[in-house]
Amino acid sequence: MNGNPLFVTAAPGTADLLAAELTEFGLAAVREVGGGASGVATLAQALRVCLWSRVGLRVLWRIGEFAAADAGELYAGIRGIDWSAQLGVADSLAVDFSGELPGIRHSQFGAQRVKDAIVDQFREGTGERPSVDRVAPALRINVRAGRDGVIVAVDLSGDSLHRRGYRGGQGAAPLKENLAAALLLRAGWPELAAAGGAFVDPLCGSGTLPIEAALIAADIAPGLLRERFGFERWRGHDAAVWRELIAEAGSRRAEQRLEPGRVRGYDRDARLLAQAQANAQRAGLGQRIHFERCDLAALPPAAAPAGLIATNPPYGERLGDRAGLRDLYALLGERLRAGYRGWEAAVLTGNPALGRALGIRARRTHRMMNGPLECRLLRLAVEPEQFVVPRAPGRPPLIDAAGARARPGAAMFANRLRKNCVELGRWARREQIACYRLYDADMPEYAFAIDLYQSDPAGSAGRWLYVQEYAPPATVDRAKARARREEALSVLPEVTGLPAEAIWWRTRRPQKGRAQYEQLGERGERVIVAEGGLRFLVNFTDYLDTGMFLDQRLTRARIRTLARGRRFLNLFCYTGTATVYAAAGGAPATTSVDLSRTYLDWAQRNLEVNGCRGTAHRLVQADCLDWLAHDDGERYGLILLDPPTFSNSKRMRREFDVQRDHVALLRAALGRLARDGVLLFSTPFQRFRLDSAALADLAISDLTATTLPRDFARRPRIHQCFELRFDGQAAPPVASPPP
């Protein structure tokens, strides 16, 4: 077979595209291999790869291979190659080494041994040696060592081929040129462009995607823009062949195909758009690509019947926050559905969950790497049959409200709820309670828990309804359960006087441990509600629970009463509501411990909205079991211990079961309690039984009945609460971690 072995590197996930390019360029025996694609090429074909490959990175022309068992044999093998055929003594070189050999401790040492062998050969033959230039060498040499031997190649590209030569300024998270081209090839842009299709990037940043799209549409070789290649000072280079290739590329260049407006890029950032325009100018396309400052919400509709809309929006790794990004993706999907029907779309995202917010079903997905970040390319057909517009997290399901309201069950449910609104509303206003449970499966066939949240006891600033449906067991007919859900939903606005947008919905299934705390959405929306003259942030969209357990209202009030003059410790602190109560009650210092950074941040905000700032209020991110095991000498006059029922979280060092482990956990917590202190222990586990015998040296009071609010009377086992104090005759227990 005529030709020389050639290996071209590529980004992960693009080797098949590269192999297709090499086949198009006429290489023989092309195949995908780890890190790229290989084939057999003539020198002219290898130079064509350098000039025309859109997805390749480095073009490696093999000049030798040999077996080597150690660093010494590596040196000898390199010395065995005639380096005078590759470079002159006055030239400079650089060596890239990869792989492993016995005695080669790291790649720098391997590169050093290769360099030594080359320069020693020159020194012995001429008395002089080439110099080393790691930045702009006359020749870059690539050496790979593996179990099959050592492969030595000349890097014909010199610098990575993704550096086309047009990019100056760039955004905070730039998309490399080769990856942008791969995205466009995956999305079928060459075929769309050949058929006269248009291109739009609505979030174009510094313009890489529109420029690469224009290069493809105008049949412009990406290598035409580069100032130099690695082969130009290589002794094996054929300048005449290269001139022919350049002339051919020049004759193929067809900017006239890019009529004004066919390739467009939009962005809201004027600074980035200026960079994009400058990049296009350097690419010789400044008059062919239309860039315009435009917010995504104002994205103009398609100006052509067919085309590709492709973009690389932020996805929460380095830019933006995920709550806001979900809204951005939802807005992008809305603009696609509204103005680009009949088009193809390609969205590169590092967070597939955000892709679901587009509301368009992806017909194909491809794995791609954007630098170190694993991404997915979502390929979409913007057609109505592919639209899947999601309901916002926490929003009730869509129903035929008029039809459901006409059914007898709706009237019965409405009557019961209306009665509760009157009676519980009167009680809540008298007690100055702003947030309370209105309904708790009072009619068992209508299995809902309905909580009213207000920004003040009078409800004058803001009111919200949080509805939790208890998921029906398998024995309940699904159609009947759905009908009752529809009947309840149909009357909620009328009975409560709340608009539909103020009603939030969740389905509650049996949970283990802190599963109720796990994140379900990522909108990050919080409102401020009132309780006990204090203010708290709650979230109706992202979690099964809102951030404030209403059944613990009296427990929190007790903490405020006990807190004066006592240092307070809140273990498994969740969103810190009890900590706020302790601070309001006069605790001189508080410590709140939880494993979740999200909840600690939430607790910090709850403290701040109540004016509690400063070092007196300490927040500790830690596994409470480990934290208790390392006694720092601090003692607390008041401790709240409210652990999960069960947890085998990967972030916890050991599995926890409250029934099995509560004695050991209590002993560990009591090790932090001051001699005259009080420990409140609470658990939502309905079948919990306190092991009083194992705690006989303590004074224990069962506070369950006295901490059950009136609005939870129908659910007396919703929590259990105990108060523990040291008995006057007993010595303080020694802290020991749970098993």
Q: pLDDT tens, 175-212?
A: 899 999 999 999 999 999 999 999 999 999 999 999 99
Query: For residue 41, what are its two tokens?
Result: 């090429």
3-state secondary structure of 251: helix
Q: What is the pLDDT of residue 399?
A: 74
Q: What is the pLDDT of residue 172?
A: 52
Q: What is the pLDDT of residue 397?
A: 74
Q: What is the pLDDT of residue 729?
A: 36
Spatial contact of 89 and 128, defined as CB atoms under 8 Å apart: yes
- 549-726: same fold as 177-219+254-386? yes
Cα(226)–Cα(219) distance, integer angstroms: 16
Q: Which CATH number fits domain 401-517: 3.30.750.80, 3.40.190.10, 3.20.20.70, 3.40.640.10?
A: 3.30.750.80
Query: For residue 78, what are its two tokens?
Result: 């390199």
Cα(168)–Cα(145) distance, integer angstroms: 36
Q: What is the pLDDT of residue 649?
A: 58
Q: Per-residue pLDDT tens for 249-305?
A: 999 999 988 998 899 999 999 999 999 999 999 999 999 999 999 999 899 999 899
Helices (H) then strands (E): counts for the chain = 19, 30
Q: What is the pLDDT of residue 525?
A: 62
Cβ density class 521-554: b for 16+ within 10 Å, e for less: bbbeebbbbbbbebbbbbbbbbbbbbbbbbbbbb
Q: What is the pLDDT of residue 730?
A: 41
Max Cα–Cα distance, the chain, nearest Å? 105
Cα(206)–Cα(273) distance, integer angstroms: 6
Q: Per CATH, which fold does 177-219+254-386 belong to?
A: Rossmann fold (3.40.50)
3-state secondary structure of 298: helix
Q: What is the pLDDT of residue 516?
A: 43
Task: Domain 4-155: give its CATH code.
Answer: 3.30.2130.30
**Is pTM beyond 0.75 here?**
no
Q: What is the pLDDT of residue 393?
A: 65
What are the boundaries of each domain within the chain? 4-155, 177-219+254-386, 401-517, 549-726
Instruction: Please give the CATH superfamily to which domain 549-726 belongs.
Output: Vaccinia Virus protein VP39 (3.40.50.150)
Return the amino acid letter for 371: G
3-state secondary structure of 319: coil
Q: What is the pLDDT of residue 517?
A: 42
pLDDT along the chain (739 residues), means of 10: 92 96 97 94 98 98 96 96 96 94 88 96 94 94 92 96 85 80 98 97 96 98 94 97 97 92 95 95 95 93 95 65 72 92 95 86 91 89 84 70 90 97 96 96 94 87 90 84 91 92 81 44 70 94 88 98 98 97 97 95 95 94 93 94 81 78 96 97 95 96 97 95 80 37
Spatial contact of 184 and 11, defined as CB atoms under 8 Å apart: no
Question: Long-range pairs for 321-328 at CB < 8 Å and ≥24 separation?
Answer: 321/524, 322/351, 322/354, 322/522, 322/524, 323/522, 323/523, 323/524, 323/525, 324/524, 325/351, 325/354, 326/354, 326/357, 326/521, 326/522, 326/523, 327/357, 327/523, 328/296
